[in-house]
Structure 1
Amino acid sequence: MSSDNMSPVNPLPPVVTALFLVIIGIEAVLQLGARGILGGADAVGWRLEAVQRYAFSGEIFDWMVANGRWPAEHVIRLLSYALIHVSFTQALFAGVMVLALGKMVGEVFSQLAVLAVFVLSAVTGALAYGLLVDSRVPLIGAFPGAYGLIGAFTYLLWLRLGQLGETQTRAFSLIGFLMGIQLVFGLLFGSQPDWVADIGGFVSGFTLSVFVIPGGWRRMRDRLRHR
């Protein structure tokens, strides 16, 4: 293909587009059901039913840990919660974050790596919520997975700043800004414990990036040999 036919804008990685479409698609179905356009009268309660069946519950998680039993219909909650949202606004905001950050991370990572970061960060966020938070409020929303992509982006920026000989702590400006906003909103409107899941997702995304970035395993092996 000649350079004349090349687009000046890199296309979205298909896996990122797919994640966005799944998030918005599920929300669209719930919205149509709530308005009686889809599914008839029973569809009005689809969102509540989805929360009851697929949201991550700290109480259910504690029960599984205490009894050593891990039913599939409850284990799936570690990930399925990330596809359910409180409202269209929340789903759209989370979807846009996934699009923007997934595009930037996907320009360096493979599609499988981008998906792994999102999925494992969502799972880690749920585990952090279940282990560190004592709350009956269920966890829903794609934000822990999106924060995992923020962690991956932060790692890429951290590497770039190191190559340029600049202060690498600047790479954490974005997560610091977002946490600052959450703190302000918490002080003004009351704090929600789901920020613990967001931080868990961020740490997971940053850590995973060390290994899934192209050449990551080789780089880690060389460091261990030098030690």
Structure 2
Amino acid sequence: MSSTPPPHMESPFNALPAVVVALALALFGVEAVLQLGERGLVGGPEAVGWRTMWAQRLAVTPDVFDLFLSYRLPLSDVLLRLFGYSFVHASFTHMLFVVIFVLALGKMVGEIFASWAVLAVFFGSAVMGGVIFGTLIDGRAILFGGYPGAYGLIGAFTFLLWVQLAATGGPQARAFYLIGFLMGIQLIFGLLFGGGLDWVADIAGFATGFLLSFVVSPGGWSRVMAKLRQR
């Protein structure tokens, strides 16, 4: 009597590029520490205020760029904010949606792009999103959280679809359906529940991710032009 061998159980993380898993774990890990601190499980009484403290320390605001341009804030402080604000979120739910975007879009982008290129897209988009937000927005607006970097990955994914449609002769506008849908949802939520100006950084992150892909994707600009010439 033969027995059927048990099916091979493969971890879902095996299907994800290592750089994407590492990035998601970093985002999740920071939030986990903040959650534990708020519950008094680590860090002592002062840990309850860690989220507020790090949001103030790392958030991008128009004031940051005003101080920098007036030589009252060092470049190192600005760079720390531009590279660090992605890791502090308003809540667990805020972080969770960012991680979902990173895992889903990062998987598709990471299967084509090199690991360094995935990081270049995420952090490049976060930096540019912060710069655009800090220089164009006035008032007491504040930016933190990983959405601009995640939208950069959406931009890279859109680039891949755009190139594929160009190669197959399909309508290239279809590549932009996803960002159009997401921005539409964001607009509806903003109208119904109110919202800030974070969408400015999100759009800047998307555009940066799309444009960076011309440089960091395999083959870069020459590959894209070759695909377009095949039409």
Q: TM-score, normalised by structure 1?
A: 0.90
- 1:36 and 1:7, CA in 2 relative to 1: closer, same or farther beyond 3 A? closer
1:27 aligned partner:
31
1:136 aligned partner:
140
Q: Is the partner of 1:76 in helix, strand or coil?
A: helix
**1:153-168 paired onto structure 2 within 5 Å:** 153-168=157-172
Decide which moves more: 59-68 or 13-22.
59-68
1:172 aligned partner:
176
1:201 aligned partner:
205
2:191 aligned partner:
187
| Alignment partner of 1:42 is 2:46 | yes
Q: Find the partner of 1:13 among 12, 17, 27.
A: 17
In structure 2, C-alpha distance between the alignment counterparts of 1:77 and 1:71, rounded to whole Å: 10
| Alignment partner of 1:112 is 2:127 | no
Q: TM-score, normalised by structure 2?
A: 0.89
1:117 deviates by: 0.3
**1:69-84 paired onto structure 2 within 5 Å:** 70-84=74-88
* Structure 2: segments with no counterpart, 5+ residues: 1-7
In structure 2, C-alpha distance between the alignment counterparts of 1:9 and 1:79, rounded to whole Å: 26
* Structure 1: segments with no counterpart, 5+ residues: none
1:219 deviates by: 3.6
Deviation per residue, 1:96-137 (Å, 9 max, x gap): 110110000011100110010001000000011011111313
Q: Find the partner of 2:125 among 121, 145, 161.
A: 121
What code does the residue aligned with 2:109 have? V
1:60 deviates by: 1.4
| Alignment partner of 1:86 is 2:90 | yes
- 1:7 and 1:88, CA in 2 relative to 1: closer, same or farther beyond 3 A? closer
2:58 and 2:80 in contact (8 A); partners too:
yes
In structure 2, C-alpha distance between the alignment counterparts of 1:69 and 1:9, rounded to whole Å: 42
Decide which moves more: 132-141 or 44-53.
132-141
1:58 aligned partner:
62
In structure 1, C-alpha distance between the alignment counterparts of 2:123 and 2:182, rounded to whole Å: 21
- 1:17 and 1:152, CA in 2 relative to 1: closer, same or farther beyond 3 A? same
In structure 1, C-alpha distance between the alignment counterparts of 2:192 and 2:11, rounded to whole Å: 45
Structure 1 vs Structure 2 CA RMSD: 2.2
Deviation per residue, 1:45-67 (Å, 9 max, x gap): 11111111111122111210233
1:68 deviates by: 7.6
In structure 1, C-alpha distance between the alignment counterparts of 2:181 and 2:41, rounded to whole Å: 40
2:129 and 2:205 in contact (8 A); partners too:
yes
1:221 deviates by: 8.2
Decide which moves more: 200-209 or 212-221.
212-221
In structure 2, C-alpha distance between the alignment counterparts of 1:140 and 1:130, rounded to whole Å: 11
2:5 aligned partner:
none
What code does the residue aligned with 2:66 have? D
1:69 deviates by: 5.0
Runs of 4+ residues over 4 Å off in structure 1: 6-10, 220-223
What code does the residue aligned with 1:94 have? V
Aligned residues: 219
What code does the residue aligned with 2:59 have? A
1:11 deviates by: 1.8
- 1:73 and 1:171, CA in 2 relative to 1: closer, same or farther beyond 3 A? same
* Paired-residue identity, %: 56
2:13 and 2:21 in contact (8 A); partners too:
no
